[in-house]
């Protein structure tokens, strides 16, 4: 059933990108780079808008669920397309696991219950399986809550207008902050996966992806700026507690935003296993389960949720690092496919620039890995 519209595409982009990462990684970049982190976030916003554009283009060329990897299949063939499909799927699952891990961190600021993330995954999977109309309504609710909470937190922390003149620029710190911050700006690939749920996927996904990314970029810059404007220091947990300021409303809002991100990704990624393993999904028992809902992949959602719950107890920083590295490799496949398959030079130039950005980021991370940073 094609139920979702352009407005839903914007909401889906916002909730897919904004998750626990902004609340955990923004303070993390602050602990890594201090007030220099603000420069890293500015770089991330510019990079994310450039890197989102080839995905927007690819979404106009493919209207079947499966997302960007379907476009790679169209350009390079089935086998190469599937390899990048596996990478996108695994990176997505690890990313959601990291967000669930963030939920654990935020929840346990006030309570001590390490299995709360697993319970959340079960609840959200149940909501996703309720059907596309419920999904559409919840996407709008989560997106509105996300925007309001971020604006409130920026207002509470305040903005130091003189921060740029007072902060000494350190390129190594800025780049390290930018690397970890970039993870929170990714997520736009997920919106193109459930194409068959949109009334007009060529228009809705393309414009919704760019507009949603721009809105998120502005919100992120303001939030990172507000954190850099504070005079708080310490480890990650200390900084987060000081940012929340014992305000249960802010704490609850954070949990709602993280839940919205997990919800969005649980929905979008549910289509990937079915698209990647069609023969397995055509087996009688699984086919019967799939037929329970025409507008959602039941087996895909259940499989993803099991994997996410299994990984969610791992270190959030490790999950972020691995998922971003794998995602960047899969992005390269999309960008190179657009570079080869696009008809207009503007799309080719942007995709080529995106390829170069990805190669630089990967080389940067490998360098820092071997230097034990």
Averaged pLDDT score across all residues of the chain: 80
Q: Give backbone dihedrals phi and psi of 75, rounded to 5 degrees, phi first.
A: -85, -45
Rounded CA separation 321/26 (Å): 15
Give 292's pLDDT tier (boundaries 50, 70, 90): low
User: What average pLDDT does range 176-205 have in this prediction?
Assistant: 75
| pLDDT value at 245 more than 80 | no
Higher pLDDT, 296 or 311: 311
- Predicted confidence at residue 249, as pLDDT, reads 76
Mean pLDDT is lowest, of 62-71, 104-113, 311-320, for 62-71
Q: Residue 198's beta-bridge partner residues?
A: 4
CA of 355: how far to CAs of 46, 122, 329, in Å? Answer: 15, 37, 10
Ordered by where they begin, the domains of the chain are 6-370 (1.20.1740.10)
pLDDT tens for residues 52-86?
888 888 877 776 666 677 888 889 988 898 898 88
Give 353's pLDDT tier (boundaries 50, 70, 90): very high
Closest CA to 74 of 268, 346, 342: 342
Closest CA to 328 of 182, 167, 206: 182
- Predicted confidence at residue 336, as pLDDT, reads 93
| pLDDT value at 338 more than 70 | yes
Q: Are 182 and 47 in contact (CB under 8 A)?
A: yes
pLDDT tens for residues 120-131?
899 888 888 887
| Most confident listed range (192-201, 209-218, 333-342) | 333-342
Q: Are 10 and 215 in contact (CB under 8 A)?
A: yes
**Dihedral (CA of 211, 212, 217, 220) sign:** positive
Residues 6+ apart with CB under 8 A from 19: 99, 102, 184, 187, 257, 258, 260, 261, 262
| pLDDT value at 2 more than 70 | no
Helix spans in 62-77 (H): 68-76
Rounded CA separation 219/150 (Å): 7
- Predicted confidence at residue 156, as pLDDT, reads 77
Q: Quick one: how far is CA 138 from the chain centroid?
A: 17
- Predicted confidence at residue 96, as pLDDT, reads 86
Rounded CA separation 191/269 (Å): 9
Q: Residue 4's beta-bridge partner residues?
A: 198
- Predicted confidence at residue 32, as pLDDT, reads 74
Higher pLDDT, 229 or 112: 112
- Predicted confidence at residue 332, as pLDDT, reads 92
Residue 56 DSSP SS3:
helix
| Most confident listed range (11-20, 41-50, 138-147, 232-241) | 41-50
| pLDDT value at 215 more than 90 | no
User: What average pLDDT does range 167-185 have in this prediction?
Assistant: 79
| pLDDT value at 234 more than 60 | no
User: What average pLDDT does range 99-119 have in this prediction?
Assistant: 82
Give 350's pLDDT tier (boundaries 50, 70, 90): very high
Locate the DSSP E strands across the chain. Answer: none
| pLDDT value at 233 more than 80 | no
pLDDT tens for residues 250-260?
778 778 878 88
Q: Work out the percent of the chain whose per-residue pLDDT is above 70.
A: 84
- Predicted confidence at residue 311, as pLDDT, reads 87
| pLDDT value at 155 more than 90 | no
pLDDT tens for residues 83-100?
988 898 888 898 888 888
């Amino acid at each position: 059933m094609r139920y979702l519209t352009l407005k839903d595409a914007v909401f889906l982009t916002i909730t897919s990108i904004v998750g626990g990462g902004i609340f955990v990684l923004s303070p993390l970049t602050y602990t890594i780079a201090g007030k220099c982190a603000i420069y890293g976030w500015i770089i991330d916003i510019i990079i994310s808008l450039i890197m989102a554009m080839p995905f927007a283009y690819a979404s106009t060329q493919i209207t079947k669920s499966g997302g960007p990897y379907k476009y790679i299949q169209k350009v390079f063939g089935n086998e190469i397309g599937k390899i990048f499909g596996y990478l996108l799927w695994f990176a997505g699952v690890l990313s959601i696991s990291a967000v669930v891990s963030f939920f654990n961190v935020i929840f346990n600021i006030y309570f001590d219950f390490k299995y709360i993330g697993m319970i959340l995954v079960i609840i959200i999977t149940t909501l996703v399986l309720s059907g596309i109309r419920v999904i559409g309504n919840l996407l709008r609710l989560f997106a509105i809550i996300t925007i309001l909470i971020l604006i409130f937190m920026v207002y509470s922390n305040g903005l130091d207008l003189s921060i740029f003149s007072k902060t000494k620029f350190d390129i190594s710190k800025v780049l390290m902050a930018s690397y970890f911050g970039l993870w929170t700006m990714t997520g736009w690939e997920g919106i193109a996966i459930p194409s068959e749920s949109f009334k007009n996927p060529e228009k809705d996904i393309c414009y919704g992806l760019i507009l949603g990314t721009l809105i998120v970029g502005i919100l992120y810059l303001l939030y990172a700026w507000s954190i850099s404007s504070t005079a708080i220091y310490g480890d990650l947990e200390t900084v987060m507690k000081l940012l929340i300021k014992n305000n249960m409303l802010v704490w609850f809002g954070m949990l709602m935003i993280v839940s919205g991100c997990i919800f969005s990704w649980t929905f979008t990624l549910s289509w990937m296993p079915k698209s990647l393993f069609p023969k397995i999904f055509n087996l009688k028992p699984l086919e019967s389960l799939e037929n329970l809902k025409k507008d959602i992949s039941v087996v895909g959602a259940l499989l993803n949720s099991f994997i996410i719950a299994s990984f969610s107890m791992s270190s959030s920083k490790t999950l972020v690092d691995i998922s971003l590295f794998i995602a960047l490799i899969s992005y390269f496949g999309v960008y190179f496919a657009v570079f080869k398959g696009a008809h207009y030079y503007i799309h080719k130039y942007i995709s080529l620039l995106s390829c170069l950005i990805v190669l630089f980021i990967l080389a940067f991370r490998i360098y820092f890995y071997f230097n034990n940073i």
